Amino acid sequence: MKPKTIKQKKGPGGNLGLARLGIILWLVILAWSPGLFARSVQGEANKEETRWYSIRLGEETVGYVKETGSRLQQAGRWYWKSVTESKIVLRRLGQKVEMRVSYEHLETDEGLLKKITAEQLLAGSRVRTEIEVEEDRAKIKNLTGNQVFSREIPSSGRLLGPVGIGKLTNDKLKRPGDKVEYRTILAELAQVISGERTLVGEEVVDCGRNKMTARKVIDRISQIETTRQVWLDMEGNEVKAVEPSPFGDIVTCLSSEQEVMEAMAASRGQEQFFQSSLIRSNVRLPQARGLDRLVVRLKHSQPELGWPDLANEYQKILENSGEVKVVELKRVPLRSSPDGQLSAEEKKPYLEANTYIDINDPEIKRIASEVAGREKNVFQKALKLRDWVSRNLAFDAGFVFAPASEVMKAKKATCAGYAALLAALLRAAGIPSRYLMGIVYANGIWGGHAWVEAWLEGRWVPLDAALPSPGAADPARIAIARSSLAEGPGGSLVAAQKFFGSVSVEVLEFSLKGRTVKINQNQPLYEVKDNRYWNPGLQLGLRAPDGFTFAELDGVWPDRTLLALKGPDGQVVRLFQEGWFPSENLEKYLLERLKKEVNGGRQIQLRVWGKKRPALVSAEKSALAILNGTDLFLLVASGKNSEKLLAGVAAALENRLIAD
């Protein structure tokens, strides 16, 4: 029998916070935060009213939330059904990044949660989560492609849905200072969470349509350690909300479909939101992928958020004073005495398939067998799988997060996808693996990143396919969360929420090939004096040819430019810094890289820093590749007599950290 539906009179203001929480938590992967909110529970009517909300970052509208609600009668009992659809569109590295999250909550007429259905579309396919709440447990089912993964969590006590939380809010928050506590299930974390709401008072809110008097409420969720400000109308519907994110405050305001769509169409999609989440380094690190050790000072601008657990086998806390931590980071040797052993039960979650590490995919099994099946040495087996991922995937900023099987099919991903696929291949080859989230150094910045750890002969060894090193992953990174991903990435994102956008990084010293360099606190990133450029971090210098001036000296990732020289007749010379790549044929790789700069040039060799280096030259453009340890420098000269100009600048290029 088809359920009877009676449409709700007042607009559904209830699970707007849930929808935004899903979006913000996923924003952490690109670089987070939440709540649910009150739904009006007025009587039945014949007309359904849909509410639209704009999502703004700064002055720009970047997304929307659409909410509808209805009452259903099933087997003689009434239920509330809330449906929320949300979307955010940003730009990152010139590409559109689109994230969609939808929710459906079903709860009793009294507001007790019965079922949640959530879907995330962050790449090419949807990931669906279904949660059914029973008296003492919640049954969780994750569906992706044709695979289903099921588990249970305990859920004793009263768990409320959006309507239930709204009713509780309206019933209990009467005077400023009144508080109320609630418990519910958050789909992204797939766990029971506790919240507390406090009524601040009444304020006039202006969302651009009209002004109205609203009640301001502070909502705190303990498991996520976040606080959001919310304004409710007199019927309990959400009007406005402000909450933090790595890119600044996210503001949600009551709007209309037309206003939201017009604002999004006019959005410029600026990249500053992502740039604001990057941490400028106080030093340009030489051969970052080849470093042996670093010591960094971390300073938390919001220590009340707490710190994620940073201490592990290769991250040692040297100083800890609340808002400041000094951490020593070391490279893990591939061959060394084991730290310990894991039992079969302890290894189990790191060998099993789950929603995102779906190792039962036939193609993942095939590649794992072909690449590493005959290799006996477990270290080499892991490195071969890492190298395969590095060589066969392309970076795509719009491919936010997806199961490993989808990454395998698309052959593109962000670092999150590189890590998911490598973790899956390792497990398919019988090697326990876990997913890491943290920050990494790259070309002058520290930014959010994902990589993996593999259990290799008695210790966890970090491996990175997106920013590879010749062996284990380098120590120019800080791990802040580890997970099997059996429960999804939500737990890691919550840990990241305590870190991203709130912590600064200062390099105090680094070690490279037995040499330790201490960083002077007042040391500049670079200096130009008497027409000579000097970079104290890279220990690299260059004197400009007569008539040339330095330019473009402040580029950081994703800009590869270290410096540029502008000549009197329009000539331009640029020096790019890139990283090491696990190429099967180094000479061929360098030549192909040069061909991307020079079309149809003549191949020659130039002696730089004591070695012959490959170059492609032509009348108007010439390029030179200089591999120094794990740094690849590309020197590109454009304009008349480019070959002669290239040779002259290359001869003047100096480096005091020349690798063997």
pTM score, whole prediction: 0.89
Structural domains of the chain ordered from first start: 9-265 (no CATH), 279-332+343-518 (3.10.620.30), 527-655 (3.40.1000.10)
Lowest pLDDT segment from 9-13, 125-129, 152-156: 9-13
CA angle 228, 234, 240 (to 5 degrees): 30
Lowest pLDDT segment from 93-107, 449-463, 476-490: 93-107
CA torsion, ordered 574, 575, 576, 580, to nearest 10 deg? 150
Lowest pLDDT segment from 188-197, 577-586, 607-616: 188-197
Structure tokens at 298: 């971390």
* pLDDT confidence tier of residue 266, bands split at 50, 70 and 90: confident
C-beta neighbour count of 45 within 10 angstroms: 12
Q: Above 90 in pLDDT, residue 595?
A: yes
Collect all residues with Cβ–Cβ distance below 8 Å to 91 and sequence separation of at least 6.
Answer: 97, 269, 270, 271
Percent of the residues in the chain that have a pLDDT greater than 90, as a whole number: 61
Secondary structure of 195-237 as H, E, C letters: EEEEEEEEEEEECCCCEEEEEEEEEEECCCCEEEEEEECCCCC
Task: Classify 266 as helix, strand or coil.
Answer: coil
Per residue in 329-359, pLDDT tens? Answer: 999 987 766 667 889 999 999 999 999 999 9
Q: Kindly tell me the burial class for residue 211, based on how many C-beta atoms sit within 10 Å of its own C-beta (0-12, 13-18, 19 or more).
A: exposed
**Beta bridge mates, 119:** 102, 128
